[in-house]
Chain A
Amino acid sequence: MHTSSQWISFFIAGLFSSAHCLVMCGAIVGALTMSLPLSVREQPRTLLGYLAAYNSGRILSYALAGFLAGSFGEMVVRSFGLDHGHSNVLLWISFLFLVGIGLYIAGWLPGVALLEKTGIGLWNRIDPLARSLLPVNSIARAVVFGILWGWFPCGLTYTVLIWSATTGNAIQGAVAMMAFGVGTLPGIFAAGFFSGRMFLFRRSLKLKRGLGILIILSAALIVFQNLGHETNAHPSHAKPVEMCIE
């Protein structure tokens, strides 16, 4: 599987999870936005700066988590000698994760939320520190709050994190989680700017279903595109498939 396709998959997972992000983090984004001084809120540029700072911190934490997950994946790949000829396996793993995320977003696989329990212990330690930073009154503080916010327990993020481990490489794991975080930005930014109005959409079952189906369709598209690419690259199928990690 090509690295760019892999990143696109992670980006898509983040992008089409907007409805989920609005439910899980919408209130936090609203609180962060509204607790800023009026002078900041009235200036779209300044507000954008703060939203960018919060989210940079959040994505930084995702990248760190992805790095750790990727390192673990790398260790597993080396231990079991899987570092050659497994690109199709990774492609299908990515497909399954994306389909699972699509089903979860659509509300057809609610069990994913149970994964959140794994992060509760860590969050209980982080929470007092995060609360001590409120109200956020400087960009630096916003970045630090964002870094802590990145560890907020979320079944979807944990699923993507497990998926990032399958990249089998620390750097790629970090980049994959960054791509996911960047994908979540439009939804989170919209929640910050349009706040009250955005929440009208978050309860829409049709929207959730639509976004879930889009993720599943994207997964299918990525698989077919990659399989087609590999078939063209190796028409005879005589040679083994190249390593997935470029």
Chain B
Amino acid sequence: MKKLEPQLLGESPEFLAVLRTVGLLAPTDVTVLITGESGTGKELIAHHIAANSRRAQGPLISINCAALPETLAESELFGHGKGAFTGAMERRPGRVQSASGGTLFLDEISELPLSIQPKLLRLLENGECQVVGQPQVSRADVRIVAATNKDLAEMVRQGTFRADLFFRLNIVPLELPPLRQRQGDIPLLLEAFIQNFSKQHNTPSPVISRPALQILQSYLWPGNIRELRNWCERTCILHRGEMIEPHHLPKEILAKESWNDERGNVLLHLPEKGINLANLEQNLIQQALQRSSGNKSRAARLLGLTRDTFLYRLKKVAVSL
């Protein structure tokens, strides 16, 4: 097995279970669907799978499906022949063909246009693909690894993602836990990132004080490991060799700790652009439910509400459990 990136370090049971599963399925040629919030390390896992597969010597082609314009998506993926459409001056191989003998990583698969989804399904089922403007079907020897931060099952229910493609992708699902569910891993990740960036920038490593560490561990890290990594890089540059105390931490991290001051004054500042209060309420309710493992009484207490008020608001925002 190749050495793990610092972003893939961790000791939480959920994360280790994913890594062990990755180790076992990497040598196979099966399609993998990696799910998880933004910044949880989906792309790194995809790279790790490719690097530990039998196709490690082959190409790894990454495509961000959200960046594919619908009109060009088919030609970009499967290629086009000369004269296939206006402007197709010469034959151009698609990304699928370019990944032949290797791995094709489809990031943000949820954004793949509906019209292309049956063609991807055909590739997954039979390894067949059709170059735009060419009548004959060609074959591609490629392993697909897809990733998304969306709930594809919900998208299938809403009719925005094909059910057959979802079921074909979801045979080997890997779900990366968000960082807020791996609080015990934060010290390990901090140490790895700080060491890494100090070495990279050739600066003495800052040291995190215990009170600062406690705050960092209780912060929810909505941007997950990516946010933690960026904070570490900033800290290594701005506070080289210093002891990091709570006052060194950015406002957004401290805000959670100081939601109310001693007099009960609210310290949450309304951003210039304003906020969507309904979305905020739904998000807070979801977080409270996640933190209380679905226990509504505990979730209500976390939000400073009575159980009845909480149930009323839960019904109002229609949070699915």
- B23 contacts across to A, CB distance below 8 A: 127, 131
Q: A108-B293, A123-B20 are in contact. Are A30 and B27 (CB under 8 A)?
A: no
Instruction: Give complex CA distance A32, B24 in Å.
Output: 9
25 A–B contacts, CB within 8 A, in A order: A24-B17, A27-B25, A27-B32, A27-B172, A27-B174, A28-B25, A31-B25, A31-B30, A31-B172, A34-B31, A34-B172, A107-B294, A113-B13, A120-B16, A127-B1, A127-B23, A128-B1, A131-B27, A134-B27, A153-B17, A155-B13, A195-B171, A196-B167, A199-B173, A205-B321
Give B1-50 interface residues, CB cut-off 8 Å to A. Answer: 1, 11, 13-14, 16-17, 20-21, 23-32
- B256 contacts across to A, CB distance below 8 A: none
The 10 A-B residue pairs with the shortest CB-CB distance, nearest first, are A196-B167, A113-B13, A35-B28, A31-B25, A196-B170, A34-B30, A30-B171, A195-B171, A30-B172, A134-B27
- B173 contacts across to A, CB distance below 8 A: 26-27, 30, 199
B20 engages A33 (CB within 8 Å): no
Give B264-321 interface residues, CB cut-off 8 Å to A. Answer: 293-294, 321
- A23 contacts across to B, CB distance below 8 A: 17
What is the total number of residues of chain A having a CB less than 8 Å from a CB of chain B? Answer: 37
A130 in contact (CB, < 8 A) = yes
B234 in contact (CB, < 8 A) = no
B14 engages A113 (CB within 8 Å): yes
Expressed in whole angstroms, the minimum distance between the Cβ of A182 and any Cβ of chain B is: 23
- B248 contacts across to A, CB distance below 8 A: none
Per DSSP, are chain B's interface residues mostly helix, strand or loop, or mixed?
Answer: mixed
Q: A34-B31, A135-B29, A155-B13 are in contact. Are A127 and B24 (CB under 8 A)?
A: yes
B169 in contact (CB, < 8 A) = yes
Per DSSP, are chain A's interface residues mostly helix, strand or loop, or mixed?
Answer: helix
A30, A32, A152, A206, most chain B CB atoms within 10 A: A30
- B21 contacts across to A, CB distance below 8 A: 27-28
Instruction: Give complex CA distance A123, B174 in Å.
Output: 19
Q: Which residue of B lies closest to A112 (CB)?
A: B13
Expressed in whole angstroms, the minimum distance between the Cβ of A30 and any Cβ of chain B is: 4
A45 in contact (CB, < 8 A) = no
Having A30-B173, A135-B28, one finds 14 other A-B pairs with CB under 8 Å, namely A27-B172, A28-B24, A28-B25, A110-B293, A113-B13, A123-B20, A127-B1, A134-B28, A135-B29, A153-B16, A195-B167, A196-B166, A196-B170, A205-B294
What is the total number of residues of chain B having a CB less than 8 Å from a CB of chain A? Answer: 31
B20 engages A34 (CB within 8 Å): no
Q: Which residue of B lies closest to A116 (CB)?
A: B13
Q: Which residue of A lies closest to B164 (CB)?
A: A196
B153 in contact (CB, < 8 A) = yes
Give A155-211 interface residues, CB cut-off 8 Å to B. Answer: 155, 195-197, 199-200, 205-206, 209
A238 in contact (CB, < 8 A) = no
B20 engages A30 (CB within 8 Å): no
- B170 contacts across to A, CB distance below 8 A: 195-196, 199
Contact with B along A201-242 (1 / 0, CB 8 A): 000011001000000000000000000000000000000000
B17 engages A116 (CB within 8 Å): yes
Q: A27-B173, A30-B172, A108-B293 are in contact. Are A152 and B25 (CB under 8 A)?
A: no
Expressed in whole angstroms, the minimum distance between the Cβ of B56 and any Cβ of chain A is: 13
Give B196-231 interface residues, CB cut-off 8 Å to A. Answer: none
A107 engages B29 (CB within 8 Å): no
B82 in contact (CB, < 8 A) = no
B168 in contact (CB, < 8 A) = yes
Q: A24-B17, A107-B293, A131-B23 are in contact. Are A31 and B28 (CB under 8 A)?
A: yes
B28 engages A127 (CB within 8 Å): no
B321 engages A152 (CB within 8 Å): no
A134 engages B171 (CB within 8 Å): no
Q: Which residue of B lies closest to A145 (CB)?
A: B24
Contact with B along A134-157 (1 / 0, CB 8 A): 110000000000000000110100
Give A75-97 interface residues, CB cut-off 8 Å to B. Answer: none
Expressed in whole angstroms, the minimum distance between the Cβ of B292 and any Cβ of chain A is: 10
